Amino acid sequence: MTIEQLPAAARIATETALKEAGRRWLGKSINRVEDPRFLRGEGRYIDDISLPGMAHAAIVRSKHAHARIVSIDTSKAEALPGVVRVVTGADVTAHAAPLPSFGAGPIIQDLIAIEKVRHFGEAVAAVIAEDRYIAEDACDLIEVEYEPLPAVIDPFDAQAEDAPLVHEKLGTNVAYERTFTFGEVDKAFAEAPRKVQAKLRWPRSTGMPMDTNGAIGEYDPGTGVVTIHANSMNFTYFHWLIAASLKIPATKLKVVPVAAGGSFGSKFFMHKVPTFAGFLAMLAGRPVKYVEDRVTHIVNNDHAGSDRWYDAELAFDDDGTFRALRIDCVDDYGAYLQFGTGTHGNGLSQIVGPYRIQDVQYSLHAVLTNKNQQGAYRGFGAECSNWMLERLVDMAARDLGMDRVEIRRRNLIAADQFPYRTPTGNIYDSGNYQGVLEKILELGEYEHWVAERDKARAEGRHVGIGVVASNERSVFSSTEFWFWFDQPEFKPTSSPESASLQIDPTGQIVVTLHSQCLWGNSPETVVSQVVAEEFDVDPAGIVVTYADSQHALPGTGPGGSRFTVMVSGAVAGAAAEVKEKLRAIASHKLEVSADDLEFVDGGVSVIGSPERKLSLAEIALAAYMFRLDLPVDVDSGLAAQSTYDHPLTTNPSDDRSDLGIFYPFVGHAWHIGVVEVDVETGKLSFLHYAAVHDAGTVVNPKTLNGQIIGGTIQGLGTALYEEYNYDAEGRVRNQNFEYYHLPSSMDVPTMTIAHQETPSPYTPYGIKGAGEGGRMLTPAVLSAAIEDALEPYGVRITSLPISAEQIVAWAASNWSG
Amino acid sequence: MTATLPLRIQVNGRSYEHEVEPRKTLADFLRDDLGLKGIHLSCEHGFCGNCNVLLDGEAVRSCLMFAIQAGGRSVETVESLAGPGGELNDLQQAFTEHHALQCGFCTPAMLLTAQEFLRENPGETDDTAIREAISGVICRCTGYQQIVEAIQSVAAHS
């Protein structure tokens, strides 16, 4: 495949890429410009904001997983002094429309349960009160009479013909099923001399940010405008859907972005909480704050992670060459289907990993049960499928008696095969996987640790090595949400990002962003570095602001490791326009050709004559105040706005034998982890942990390392600790941090990190996304390392999390499979 | 409404006299009555440590204490760390140099907990000692490594 075969947009983008020479600010480990306010405790998160006359809300959560609501007695709550209003499903029926859903229907989700509850923790009522203490007291006074219904908790039981239905109108609990076949899978399996097969279990966990989801609603009866301050990520992408739920025109809704104390997916199109706050404010006629408490966040947030049961097999030759992959996956979606099957579409963008596998079959069974709904969690499904694939690869190596590095090396896509079209149709834009492999073997001291492991094993110690690879797709278009359907109702192909750039009369640069993109990543630092690169100004002086939805241009926000690439494109576009105007004015005033000017040290100067220079402030003042000094064809002002579209995406084919290009900027990484396991206690000690990532052009090495380490440790939580514990009645047993363990500083390794930079030919500056890569590797590397350490017991790891109790039990029972 | 009780408390070097409901937590008093929004509530259950403040120099969970229990005692919050013009102190500066924060939500508690460690263990740079000291504060973003490095760098220069 050559670049010429790609769409025109890609060729245009190529022209802006690869300007490596003379780079001044991109690639520097500058301190984050966001940091000082957070270090002083002035981060202004949602719960830090108070509005005059603001009331506070709390919700009554269902105690049942599945029950008919017979009656609700709110009289005692309403009689409590300080209670403003009690709200139930009857108010929702009267005044609101259902919440948006992107899945197959009809699966209706309401702000507060109407008629029946479908999962433990679902809201059945809300109280608005003068303070949060009173609101929670009043919740305890609300008497709900339930008629319990049989709950479906197991996704296999849920598929039985006589299973109780989560949604009667759907007529089944199987919300969606489809098999995609790419290539000649049956033939490949018939011909291949070897195959491995495994049933693999990926449990439900969640992003679990330290700051829960929250919003403050305001209602202005005079104008009819509802204002919602919210820490939801992509409010400009979908705010019109929130307006629809509130039954108001989108023009009467203003969503104001608020910094989030973490998301990891859990605030990605967070619709329930903002809609709720707006709805309560409309009913109360005054501002209402609704911030989830931790229990509510755990049992009722919008975004639990994937909950999968894989039956997967890999066919390969005697020399270790991979031939075909066949996957059957049951995913337990819980009671609603907000994002439909998008997390499986996401995985299909890199289902073959970094390997030359030609034939792939993927079957999905999306099943509804009486649990909280799924949404987004760092990796958006690709982290699960990567673990599945790497488990199969380790099994194949074992089957052949081949080294686990060697079998991977033999199957890696070669550097001269890019851009590489994968069987599903998605392309990998660029890469040098062999280069990353060589680096990780050195950084991970692979040979050394193999010898150490063998020595330890001879001494009766349990040391194990995990070595795994992963691709990291970045920058979604949007087709992964709908290519599942032959006749989709809604076919978005655009997920743009915008930026406005203005130079004020004093020469200071202000950039306005159009999504709520601040949740622990570094949008203001990225933007400042791009602006500094374009204008050669000090990034510390650049001001970054955020538009509200009434002023916002198209924006999608962070997600799918897209933001750095997309916002850089938007900022570069706006900068180019402003620079052209600066050049025109400077050319006029300095009486030189615009082509002879360059941007140096906060001004515009004549190339070769640096003393002939105008500062940005001098040009800006003229641009604002001295129209008669400007060229005749130049208007006053110095501002531009730019909307950057996905630079390389195509539609799927009608027959879906080709899903199109939908996630093409693909990084690559390897991790090596060395652990020692204490089989008496199950305790893990990390002897070494190394990671090499290739995320294209690095904008800021320090913050990129932060994303890699943070993602890796979040993946460690997935691998070792985290799982929603639903009992047989569908109640969540681990509703707080005592029982839902998050990794602490004592649980994690110190990592050694290196980078390779293979710039993308299609993105601004060659950047690729890198926010999710860490979590795509740790589950696989720890599975492999612990399995290797427990080799004397013949342990095979096929499910997560790998608990200490499980390790002790395996060793004690001498593993019986 | 519940009756209130008088509270005398010193916060960041300043004395306050307030009437508070006996059931009001120290965290809510500091946040809502004194406006110190640097205290962050995450689990409200005593596990995450994101609400840590220093009470007579010792890190405590402000979500697990009633405000009146802190009567007559001295509280330090993150707002006490920077200089009068907002200049970052050495520990705050080390946090930004080492990229020891991402979303910033746990950061105030992490800084105060580290401050207590550095006061009590001057010059201590041992990785395990620092990890133990901050193990009661959960950070979901950083994976802790850069936090440990930031604290080590301050300890090494003390």
Whether residue A202 contacts residue A389, with contact meaning beta carbons closer than 8 Å, is answered with: no
Q: What band does A672 get if pLDDT is binned at 50, 70 and 90?
A: very high
**Which amino acid is present at A703?**
T
Could you say which of B1, B45, B47 has the minimum Cβ distance to residue A81?
Answer: B1
Amino acid in the structure at residue A288: V
Give me the count of residues in chain A.
817
Q: Which of A31, A41, A746 sits opposite B132 (nearest CB)?
A: A746
Q: How far is Cα A510 from Cα A527, in angstroms, rounded to an integer?
A: 10
At A3 the pLDDT is 45
Contacts of B101 in chain A (CB under 8 A): 35, 38-39
Are the Cβ atoms of A210 and B50 closer than 8 angstroms?
Answer: yes
What residues does A643 pair with on adjacent strands? A498
Quick one: average pLDDT of A539-556?
A: 94
Asked if A206 has any chain B CB less than 8 Å from its own CB, the reply is no
- Collect all residues of chain B within an 8 Å Cβ-Cβ radius of residue A39: 78, 81-82, 88, 92, 95-96, 101, 104, 107, 111
Report the side by side order of strands in the sheet with A55-61.
A83-88, A123-129, A55-61, A288-291, A214-220, A225-230, A253-257
Q: What is the mean pLDDT of residues B40-67?
A: 98
Residue with tokens 């008919």, as numbered in its chain:
A68
Dihedral sign for Cα A85, A86, A92, A98, please.
positive
Q: Which of A210, A294, A746 sits opposite B105 (nearest CB)?
A: A210
Reference A319, options A407, A227, A197, A207; nearest CA is: A407
pLDDT digits (tens, 9 = 90+) for A508-522: 999 999 988 889 999
For the cut 60, the answer to whether the pLDDT of residue A8 exceeds it is no
Interval A472-499 mean pLDDT: 92
In this prediction, residues A276-286 reach a mean pLDDT of 98
Q: Over 90: is that where the pLDDT of A295 sits?
A: yes
Q: How far apart are alpha carbons A697 and A757 in whole angstroms?
A: 5
| Torsions phi, psi for A59 (to 5 deg) | -115, 155
Does residue A345 contact residue A337 with C-beta atoms inside 8 Å? no
Mean pLDDT, chain A, integer: 95
Looking at residue A19, what is its pLDDT? 47
Closest chain B C-alpha to A657 CA, distance in angstroms? 39
Contact B23, B3 (CB under 8 A): no
Q: Identify residue A613 by its one-letter amino acid code.
A: K
Taking only the tens place, the pLDDT of each residue in A221-241 is 999 999 999 998 777 788 899
Per-residue 3-state assignment (H helix, E strand, C coil) for A513-547 = ECCCCCCCCCHHHHHHHHHHHHHCCCHHHCEEEEC
Tokens (6 digits) for A807:
């390790």
Nearest to A303 by CA among A256, A275, A271: A271
CA angle, corner A179, sides to A176 and A182, nearest 5?
Answer: 145
Helix (H/G/I), strand (E/B), else coil: A695? coil
Report the alpha-carbon distance of residue A394 to residue A386 in Å, rounded: 12
- Contact call for B105 and A702, based on CB within 8 A: no
The DSSP code sequence of A29-74 is -PPPTTHHHHHTT---BGGG---TT-EEEEEEEPSSSSEEEEEEE-
Mutation target among A30, A33, A35, A738 for the B interface, most CBs of B within 10 A: A35
Structural tokens at position A461: 């110690």
Percent of chain A with pLDDT over 70: 97
Spatial distance between the Cα atoms of A417 and A411, rounded to a whole number of angstroms: 13
pLDDT band at A815 (very low <50, low <70, confident <90, very high): low
Which residues of chain A neighbour B139 with C-beta distances below 8 Å? 210, 745
Asked if the Cβ–Cβ distance from B141 to A262 is below 8 Å, we say yes
Q: Is A261 on the interface with B (CB under 8 A)?
A: yes
| Residue A399 main-chain phi, psi, to 5 deg | -60, -35
ipTM of the modeled complex: 0.98
pLDDT band at A494 (very low <50, low <70, confident <90, very high): confident
DSSP count for chain A of H helices, then E strands: 20, 28
pTM (2 d.p.): 0.96
Give the pLDDT confidence score for residue A237 in this predicted structure. Answer: 80
Question: What percent of chain A is modeled with pLDDT above 90?
Answer: 91
Residue whose C-alpha is closest to residue A156's, from A300, A336, A307, A301: A307
Cβ–Cβ of A705/B146 closer than 8 Å?
A: yes
State how beta strands B5-11 and B14-20 pair: antiparallel
The predicted-structure confidence for A331-381, as pLDDT tens digits, reads as follows 999 999 887 899 999 999 999 999 999 999 999 999 999 999 999 999 999
Angle at A774 between CA A768 and CA A775, to 5 degrees: 115
In the predicted structure, residue A15 carries a pLDDT above the cut 70: no
Most confident of A1-5, A6-10, A334-338, A580-584: A580-584
Cα–Cα distance for residue pair A548/B80, rounded to 1 Å: 33
A586-601 pLDDT tens trace: 999 999 999 999 999 9
**What is the pLDDT, as a whole number, of residue B158?**
79
What 3-state DSSP class applies to A781?
helix
pLDDT confidence of residue A13:
44
User: What's the average model confidence in pLDDT over A196-211?
Assistant: 98
A-facing residues of B in 55-94 (CB < 8 A) are 77-79, 81-82, 86, 88, 92
pLDDT tens digits for A619-648? 999 999 999 999 999 999 999 999 999 999
pLDDT at residue B81 greater than cutoff 90: yes
Q: Using the beta-carbon criterion (under 8 Å), do B96 and A746 form an inter-chain contact?
A: no
- Determine which of A33, A34, A38 to mutate to test the interface with B (most B C-beta atoms within 10 Å): A38
- The predicted pLDDT at position A76 comes to 98
Among A48, A519, A736, beta carbon nearest to B43: A736
**Contact between chains at A210 and B111 (C-beta distance less than 8 A):** no
Give CA torsion, residues B17, B18, B22, B26, to 10 deg. -80
- For residue A294, the chain B residue with the least C-alpha distance is B43
Q: Test B50 with A713 for CB contact under 8 angstroms.
A: no
Provide the chain A residues 123-152 that lie in CB contact (below 8 A) with chain B.
133
Give the separation between CA A207 and CA A740, rounded to whole angstroms. 12
Non-local (6+) Cβ contacts of A252 within 8 A are: A223, A224, A225, A226, A243
Instruction: Report how far Cα A92 is from the mean position of its chain's Cα atoms.
Output: 30
Look up residue A547 and give its amino acid. Answer: A
Q: Do A744 and B48 touch (CB under 8 A)?
A: no
